[in-house]
């Protein structure tokens, strides 16, 4: 095991953090939103900006599989299909920008994207009480492009897509099911792009991902079991504070 750790130049603390992040991803995909926001800055601190997205993407895809299996019948495909083409456009925009910047700039883009996503999450939960139904195509287009950019740059599109779905007044299971299918499709689309264009997915990163698969499965199970038992308000503010602090560390 020591040789395996040293082959990735990772310390025991690094591995513990990676395992913890994998568990959080599993939880976030099966009904406990927000915890994955902590994962993005944590992995960026361990691996660097662009490389961290290559480590994280296969973990997300494996967790997406659990979510799709459990909630697949609850997806609202008409809303999903409205946003998907625009999300692909945002994804390609981020792919282009990612090739133009160095790792320091990339990490700062991740940090800024995290800050914006957290601000949107706070606004969604606490800043507005108005309800509206987005009848115009531009709403799906705007959320799709922003979400596609955010998921490609830093895998932090969750709060953005949540605003889109919550505006449509979906019930809990439909919300989780639609989100699961959206990110499963988008993340699968990102895999060859990151592997071939950014070249940040390779045998070493995939080995790390496979080693933490049990943690993903455990997190997915915990998310299903605990989704109704966690005090929502205290939990959300904990996630927000830790995420903002982590993103600040990346930015500086």
Per-residue confidence (pLDDT) for residue 35, from 0 to 100: 72
Per-residue confidence (pLDDT) for residue 216, from 0 to 100: 96
Per-residue confidence (pLDDT) for residue 139, from 0 to 100: 78
CA distances from 246 to 48, 96, 103, 118 (A): 13, 26, 17, 12
- Could you say which DSSP state residue 197 is in? I
Q: What pTM did the predictor assign?
A: 0.79
Per-residue confidence (pLDDT) for residue 105, from 0 to 100: 80
CA–CA dist 51, 205 (Å, integer)? 9
- Could you say which DSSP state residue 69 is in? H
As given in the structure block, the two tokens for residue 72 are 């697949």
Per-residue confidence (pLDDT) for residue 231, from 0 to 100: 67
Per-residue confidence (pLDDT) for residue 115, from 0 to 100: 78
> What is the per-residue DSSP string for 53-100?
HHHHHHHHHHHHHHHHHHHGGG--HHHHHHHHHHHHHHHHHHHHHHTT
Q: What is the dihedral of CA 157, 83, 174, 188, to 10 degrees?
A: -60
Per-residue confidence (pLDDT) for residue 6, from 0 to 100: 53
Per-residue confidence (pLDDT) for residue 249, from 0 to 100: 65
Note down pLDDT in tens along the chain; length 252 residues: 455 445 468 889 999 999 999 999 998 888 776 677 788 889 988 998 888 999 999 999 999 999 899 887 888 888 888 999 999 999 999 889 888 877 778 777 777 877 777 777 677 666 655 554 455 678 788 888 988 888 888 777 777 777 777 677 777 778 778 888 999 999 999 999 899 988 999 999 999 999 999 999 999 999 888 766 766 566 566 656 766 766 676 666
């Amino acid at each position: 095991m020591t040789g395996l750790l040293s082959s990735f130049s990772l310390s025991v603390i690094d591995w513990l953090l990676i395992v913890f992040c994998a568990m959080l991803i599993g939880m976030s995909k099966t009904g406990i939103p927000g915890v994955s926001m902590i994962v993005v800055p944590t992995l960026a601190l361990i691996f660097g900006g662009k490389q961290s997205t290559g480590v994280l993407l296969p973990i997300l895809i494996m967790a997406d599989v659990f979510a799709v299996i459990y909630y697949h019948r609850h997806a609202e495909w008409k809303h999903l299909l409205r946003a998907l083409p625009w999300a692909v456009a945002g994804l390609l925009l981020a792919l282009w920008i990612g090739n133009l910047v160095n790792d320091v700039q990339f990490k700062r883009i991740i940090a800024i994207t995290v800050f914006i996503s957290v601000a949107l999450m706070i606004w969604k939960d606490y800043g507005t009480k108005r309800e509206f139904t987005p009848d115009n195509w531009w709403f799906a287009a705007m959320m799709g492009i922003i979400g596609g950019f955010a998921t490609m740059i830093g895998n932090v599109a969750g709060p953005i897509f949540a605003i889109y779905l919550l505006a449509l007044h979906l019930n809990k299971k439909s919300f989780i099911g639609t989100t699961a299918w959206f990110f499963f499709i988008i993340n699968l689309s990102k895999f060859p792009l990151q592997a071939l264009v950014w070249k940040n997915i390779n045998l070493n990163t995939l080995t790390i991902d496979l080693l933490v698969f049990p943690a993903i499965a455990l997190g997915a199970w915990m998310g299903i079991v605990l989704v109704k038992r966690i005090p929502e308000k205290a939990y959300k503010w904990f996630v927000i504070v830790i995420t903002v602090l982590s993103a600040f560390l990346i930015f500086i």
